[in-house]
């Protein structure tokens, strides 16, 4: 594999700025890697090789002329195929949308391009982001297995060094699940931190946009580019954007880390639990104070998520479902049909209970600065698996097993960062997530950076 591909996005950006590496070479290395891995992974809906090469040549000229745009100038990236890119189809990995081409960039694409990043292509999603396995795509750690979803293509290409970062979206874990299963970092920022303008919606009340990256520092670098108010997104917040690199490496001495005593450890793969318990020990060794916390209202979290998600998704798809129902995959079609029949009062009740949940979580953060928990209850399953059998013999649908731990972050809108923290005995990645206060991405990034500096999990690469 080309040496350039072993760098983080941030380090590549530094070397490009210094003139040690040309953006053209970085793009060529990625394109060669994509060409070599796509027959096994199928991470991309579309690779924009000519456009990327032209943008790289332009970046090279700009930097040589002293027009450096910032740490992502010349860095090759990918976009989940929910993100609009002007004059390139946004298919949402669906036959329903295969001929739809936007005229303008999504806010995220606009910001990344303005920062000088180079878009390599559009990655596969579970159809319309409504699912957690991305059936088109495979996991680079074991190509018989799922990369997770819905941002599965982004997880697969970042993990396999096809791109230095890739955008995902997270309505019920869809950034953190593929990050956890593919062994990358995944950042779901606070609801409202990153604009969703120009991203195909799944649920306006739960959708979050964010990056999948190889390192925590890369996530900070990307967030710096992506964060900020955008009046085109009604959910966008106008909180000030801090400098995410400042204090990133200051350590976590004295940081109060919440260790959940319920919900997150009720039912999960013992190997996942062991890896996360070891991560707590590592965080403590780094100076964190571990504090036991009980998650409030655990019985309501899943119901709030789905009572909001279902009707919002079904309303977005209402006409398409009537015009083109046969073009949807079965798993998505049945959820869209079901969402038509959720009573308005149930939807409103979920929004009221969500308010209570938010208030209860706020109290929790009087005792802690961050909560650390497993990202997912299990590792990557073989493609096509629909349920998980736990050691006690009980069976759980895969969608529940994979989303359960992610949902607190979606219904509360709190920022959550998934960080690699080990491997199973089968060589499959495990991650933990750090969940912070609203708009306090800086603290979860600082925790992630401290953990990463003391471990080597993020440096492992799949042999593909």
d(CA 189, CA 63): 30
Q: Does 194 bind other proteins (CB under 8 A)?
A: no
Indicate which single residue of 40, 349, 437, 461 sits in contact with other proteins (rule: CB under 8 A): 349
Q: Which of 375, 46, 80 is nearest to 208 (CA)?
A: 80
Indicate which single residue of 334, 367, 382, 427 sits in contact with other proteins (rule: CB under 8 A): 334
Q: Does 303 bind other proteins (CB under 8 A)?
A: yes
Q: Does 306 bind other proteins (CB under 8 A)?
A: yes
Token representation of residue 348:
């409103």
Alpha carbon distance, N-terminus to C-terminus of the chain = 10
Active-site annotation holder among 22, 174, 236, 418: 174
Token representation of residue 302:
């899943």
The window from 122-130, 182-190, 341-349, 423-431 that contacts other proteins (CB under 8 A) reads 341-349
Subset of residues 216 to 235 that bind other proteins, contact rule: CB under 8 A: 231, 234-235
Q: Does 341 bind other proteins (CB under 8 A)?
A: yes
Indicate which single residue of 67, 101, 262, 351 sits in contact with other proteins (rule: CB under 8 A): 351
Whether the CB-CB separation of 127 and 81 falls below 8 Å is answered with no
Residue closer to other proteins by CB (options 38, 337) is: 337
Token representation of residue 125:
């999603």
Q: Does 197 bind other proteins (CB under 8 A)?
A: no
Indicate which single residue of 278, 282, 329, 346 sits in contact with other proteins (rule: CB under 8 A): 346
Q: Does 402 bind other proteins (CB under 8 A)?
A: no
Query: Which residue in this structure is represented by tokens 């992506």?
Result: 226
Residue closer to other proteins by CB (options 283, 388) is: 388
Per rule CB under 8 A, count of chain residues that contact other proteins: 35
Say whether 80 is catalytic.
yes
Instruction: Annotate 295-360 with DSSP letters as a single string.
Output: -SSTTTHHHHHHHHHHHHHHHHTHHHHHHHGGGS-HHHHHHHHHHTTS-HHHHHHHHHHHHHHHHH
* DSSP-based three-state secondary structure for 157: helix
CB of 322 to other proteins, least distance (A): 7
d(CA 351, CA 228): 25
Q: What are the strands, taking DSSP E only, across 153-247? A: 165-169, 185-188, 209-213
Whether the CB-CB separation of 93 and 2 falls below 8 Å is answered with no
Strand-strand pairing, 370-374 and 256-260:
parallel
Say whether 174 is catalytic.
yes
Q: Does 326 bind other proteins (CB under 8 A)?
A: no
Say whether 8 is catalytic.
no
Q: Does 430 bind other proteins (CB under 8 A)?
A: no
CB of 192 to other proteins, least distance (A): 9
Active-site annotation holder among 94, 150, 151, 314: 150
Residue closer to other proteins by CB (options 63, 206) is: 206
CB of 299 to other proteins, least distance (A): 5
CB of 95 to other proteins, least distance (A): 18
Subset of residues 232 to 261 that bind other proteins, contact rule: CB under 8 A: 234-235
d(CA 249, CA 243): 13
**Alpha helices (runs of H) in 65-198, residue ranges in sequence order:** 107-114, 152-159, 176-182
The window from 24-32, 215-223, 352-360, 385-393 that contacts other proteins (CB under 8 A) reads 352-360
d(CA 151, CA 176): 9
Q: Does 302 bind other proteins (CB under 8 A)?
A: yes
Whether the CB-CB separation of 213 and 161 falls below 8 Å is answered with no
Strand-strand pairing, 429-436 and 387-389:
unpaired
Q: Does 321 bind other proteins (CB under 8 A)?
A: yes
Residue closer to other proteins by CB (options 109, 342) is: 342
Token representation of residue 232:
């085109």
> From the centroid of its chain, how far is CA 301?
20
The window from 31-39, 62-70, 125-133, 340-348 that contacts other proteins (CB under 8 A) reads 340-348
Indicate which single residue of 26, 304, 313, 430 sits in contact with other proteins (rule: CB under 8 A): 304
Please report, as ranges, the residues that interact with other proteins according to CB under 8 A.
204-205, 231, 234-235, 297, 299-300, 302-304, 306-307, 310, 321-322, 330, 334-335, 337-338, 340-342, 346, 348-356, 358
């Amino acid at each position: 594999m080309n040496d350039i591909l072993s760098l983080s996005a941030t380090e590549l950006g530094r070397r490009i700025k210094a003139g040690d590496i040309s953006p053209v070479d970085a793009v060529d290395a990625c394109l060669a890697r994509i060409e070599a891995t796509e027959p096994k992974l199928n991470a991309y809906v579309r690779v924009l090789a000519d456009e990327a090469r032209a943008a790289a040549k332009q970046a090279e000229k700009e930097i040589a002329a002293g027009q450096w745009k910032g740490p992502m100038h010349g860095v090759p990236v990918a976009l989940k195929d929910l993100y609009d890119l002007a004059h390139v189809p946004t298919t949402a990995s669906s036959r329903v949308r295969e001929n739809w081409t936007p005229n303008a960039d999504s806010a995220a694409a606009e910001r990344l391009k303005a920062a000088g990043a180079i878009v390599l292509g559009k990655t596969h999603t579970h159809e319309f982001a409504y699912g957690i396995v991305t059936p088109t795509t495979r996991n680079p750690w074991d190509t018989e297995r799922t990369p997770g979803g819905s941002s599965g293509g982004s997880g697969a290409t970042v993990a396999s060094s096809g791109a230095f970062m890739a955008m995902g979206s997270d309505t019920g874990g869809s950034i953190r699940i593929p990050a956890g299963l593919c062994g990358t970092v995944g950042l779901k920022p606070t609801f409202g931190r990153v604009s969703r303008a120009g991203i195909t919606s799944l649920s306006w009340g739960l959708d979050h946009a964010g990056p999948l990256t190889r390192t925590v520092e890369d996530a900070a670098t990307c967030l710096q580019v992506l964060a900020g108010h955008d009046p085109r997104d009604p959910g966008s917040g106008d909180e000030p954007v801090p400098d995410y690199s400042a204090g990133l490496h200051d350590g976590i001495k004295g940081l109060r880390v919440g260790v959940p005593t319920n919900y997150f450890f009720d039912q999960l793969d013992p190997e996942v639990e062991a890896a996360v318990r070891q991560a707590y020990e590592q965080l403590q060794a780094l100076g964190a104070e571990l504090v036991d916390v009980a998650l409030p209202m655990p019985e309501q979290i899943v119901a709030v998520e789905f009572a909001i998600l279902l009707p919002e998704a079904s309303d977005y798809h209402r006409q398409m479902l009537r015009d083109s129902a046969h073009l949807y995959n079965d798993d998505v079609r049945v959820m869209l049909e079901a969402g038509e029949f959720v009573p308005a009062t149930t939807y409103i009740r979920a929004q009221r209970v969500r308010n209570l949940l938010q208030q209860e979580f706020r109290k929790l953060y009087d005792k802690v600065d961050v909560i650390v928990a497993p990202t997912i209850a299990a590792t990557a399953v073989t493609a096509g698996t629909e349920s998980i059998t736990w050691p006690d013999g009980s069976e759980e649908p895969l969608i529940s097993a994979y989303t359960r731990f992610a949902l607190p972050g979606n219904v509360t809108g709190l920022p959550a960062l998934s960080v690699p923290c080990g491997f199973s005995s089968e060589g499959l990645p495990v991650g933990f997530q750090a969940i912070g206060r609203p708009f306090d991405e800086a603290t979860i990034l600082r925790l992630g950076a401290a953990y990463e500096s003391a471990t080597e999990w993020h440096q492992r690469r799949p042999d593909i």
